[in-house]
Amino acid sequence: MMSAPRTAAAPRLRSAGLRYTLAACAVLVIVVLLALGTWQVQRLQWKLALIERVDARVHAEPVPAPGPQDWARVSADTDEYKHVFLTGRLLPEYSTKAQATTERGPGYWLLTPLCQADGGTVIVNRGFIPLEAAAGLEGSLNAVVPAGTDACAAAALAGRAPVRLNGLLRISEVGKGPMGLRANDPAQNRWYARDVHAIATARGLQPARVAPYFVDADAGQYVADLAEPLRPYGGMTVISFPNNHLVYALTWYALAAMMAAALAWVIRDERRRAGK
């Protein structure tokens, strides 16, 4: 007995199912690419608003720096790069140098506590010190407040004159320094990140009385009567926000368009073959 001839119906059904599956996958990929492009457009709008907001803060008239009653509410979103002023007594004998690389070359930031009348202490980045100028300071910028001593009260009793400094409010840098490559080593007095809590602890200040931010001093804020051998360069804050969102958005949209064009070509080719 001869077997019945095979029909081509089953293979054709499987082929059609495969085509529908591939088409559905292609549509899903297109939707995902369009969603990614739209997300980057939203990120672009957010970044432009951030840049505009920060630019307005930087160029505004200085306002009083947040006091202890406001420290809990200080955040990068609401306060970073705000132009502020401080009035109080500097404690240069308890300064700290943090490694820096600037347009002037490698060197250090000079971070000095400033005691305010409200009882708070703010770490002020008074500016940049080149390597050659800081070469002889290895042993002089590691002083610690003696136990049981209130450094701010001692400065007031000594008759140290208050000063006013203008600058940009910066949120404390916690963790590693620039590019996240090196961590602070307080025991060796090596600082890369401007972590105000860690610096206050290392200098023997009372961390609870130290602001959770530091201030980058404007240019020309040198205090001559401190009789220091250094003159730091202020006003060197670099404000830069990478903004590649438009490029990313165009890339995702271009990939979506390419995928859509490829899908349309495949569908047209399938229809042409089916019509033969």
pLDDT of residue 203: 92
Same domain flag for 101 and 214: yes
Hey, what are 16's tokens? 């059609």
Q: How far apart are CA 169 and CA 54, in angstroms?
A: 11
pLDDT at position 11 over 50: no
Residue 178, in any domain of the structure: yes
| Strongest mean pLDDT among 15-24, 68-77, 94-103 | 68-77
Number of structural domains in the chain: 2
Residue 12's pLDDT band (cuts 50, 70, 90): very low
Residue 143, in any domain of the structure: yes
Of all helices (H) and strands (E), which one includes residue 116?
strand 105-116
Residue 71, in any domain of the structure: yes
Q: How far apart are CA 217 and CA 45, in angstroms?
A: 30
The mean pLDDT value of the chain amounts to 85
Q: What is the chain's alpha carbon radius of gyration, rounded to the nearest angstrom?
A: 31
Same domain flag for 66 and 49: no
Q: Where are the alpha helices (DSSP H) in the chain?
A: 9-58, 76-79, 131-134, 151-157, 196-203, 245-274
Residue 10, in any domain of the structure: no
pLDDT at position 114 over 90: yes
**166-194: per-residue pLDDT in tens?**
999 999 987 655 555 678 888 888 899 99
Residue 10's pLDDT band (cuts 50, 70, 90): very low
Same domain flag for 92 and 42: no
pLDDT of residue 61: 93
Residue 1's pLDDT band (cuts 50, 70, 90): very low
Q: Is 122 helix (H, G, I), strand (E, B) or coil?
A: strand
Task: For the chain, give the percent of residues with pLDDT over 90.
Answer: 44
pLDDT of residue 232: 85
What is the mean pLDDT of the segment spanning 123-139?
79
**102-112: per-residue pLDDT in tens?**
888 888 999 99
What is the mean pLDDT of the segment spanning 42-71?
91
Same domain flag for 113 and 147: yes
Same domain flag for 199 and 157: yes
What is the mean pLDDT of the segment spanning 27-45?
94
CA dihedral 152, 67, 125, 205 (to 10 degrees): 40
What is the mean pLDDT of the segment spanning 29-58?
91
Cβ distance 214 to 172 under 8 Å?
yes
pLDDT of residue 28: 93
Same domain flag for 36 and 117: no
**225-276: per-residue pLDDT in tens?**
555 666 788 888 888 888 899 999 999 999 999 999 988 888 887 777 776 5
